[in-house]
Amino acid sequence: MRYISNEEIQFTKGLEGVVSNSTQIGYVDGEAGKLYYRGYDVADLAEHSTYEETAYLLFYGKLPNQKELAAFSKKLASYRALPSDVLDRLVDMPCPCHPMSMLRTGVSLLECMDESCPIAEDLESKKEYGIRLIAQMATLTADIARHRENLPPIEPDPSLSHAANFLYMLNGKRGEPLAERVMDVALILHADHGMNASTFASMVVASTLSDLYSSVTAGIGSLKGPLHGGANERVIQMLKSLSSVEEAETFVERAISKKEKIMGFGHRVYKAYDPRAKIFQGYARELTELTGNDSLFAIARTIEKRVIEAYADKGILPNVDFYSGLIYHSLGIDGSIFTPIFAASRIAGWVARVIEYLEDNRLFRPRAIYQGPLDVPYVPIEERE
């Protein structure tokens, strides 16, 4: 028996630290706690930009001027409506599906119901389908959310911004200006984040020259996994299970003493405070005061302070999930829809990176270290024990 050793092939489990491609789209500086889109600090984009402007930046490599932004926003608004058959077929499925499964299936239906059922070969056509998907993912997510509450879908309002319309379709009414701004910021902060699992999955499928819809369904399938998406739903479950600051103190002390994982802390890349969590914390304070959820914010801050005291020197600090779930809960959104919202934002990053990679495409084909036997003799079935 001969094993292929680590000395013969460089091996790192989970591809950690392995460079798969080059990019100009986004950069995560884990040591400094910085996130950049096309060179712009995400904190500046969260303060001054919009999701439409950010998506344009990711796609085209520059911030749009007023005319370009108006045209891009108008195009997004024109693409928001879904074919009626998509939702009809989703709600007719025989089993109660996870919202992410419904979202994944909905994207597949969108491709099948497209009149040309496209496998676009040129990048401009792929980009156009990507812009359409950005618009339709928000509508599809909102429709799924309302179906789960036994509520009718809300028609998109072309007069509203992408974030304001998304919140309107989710809740059936216009949000407060702060709520609409917070949704905009949430979409900006989730739009791209390095070579994460769902982005990589999308790019692997695209590298085969499959269609864009298949790439996006791969991203959604990857994001569904609890090690990638969904942690913020578990954070809000944790916060809601605690009735007071005092109970939160007891909870976190017990978890620390037993070395139990506390949801919303630690990150594979960040060794400093996640910049997205820092931005979300400020908005969470304002939004919870507006919506009467300030007691949950106090509980969250109590947990954060105690965990930082215990683990900051180990680089275990709040990540984006710690406050994003509290924000979505305060916006009146059910926890089961938190991860679909993530997808409705990250679609911009998925498509932008797919298009960039296809400009100089090479099929992804990593190797595996084989550690099984070789030259095993075949035994006829009648001679086997």
Q: Which residues are the active-site residues?
A: 228, 267, 321
Tokens 């926890």 belong to which residue? Answer: 335
Structure tokens at 104: 């994944």
How far is C-alpha 241 from the geometric centre of its chain's CA atoms? 25
CA distance 261 to 310: 13
What residue type is 177 in one-letter code? P
Q: Is the four-CA dihedral 371, 202, 100, 262 of positive or negative sign?
A: positive
Q: What angle do CA 305, 310, 311 make, to 5 degrees?
A: 100
DSSP label of 74: H
β-pair type (34-37, 40-41): antiparallel
Distance from chain centroid for Cα 63: 22
Q: What is the DSSP letter of 34?
A: E
Q: How far is it, in rounded angstroms, from Cα 136 to Cα 106? A: 10
DSSP single-letter state for residue 318 = B
> 41 φ, ψ to 5°?
-65, 130
> Residue 53 is encoded by which pair of tokens?
């402007």
Where in the chain does DSSP place strands (E)? 26-29, 34-37, 40-41
Per the CB < 8 A criterion, the answer to whether 346 and 216 are in contact is no
CA distance from start to end of the chain: 23
CB within 8 Å of 384: residues ≥ 6 apart: none
- What whole-number distance in Å separates Cα of residue 256 and Cα of residue 306? 9
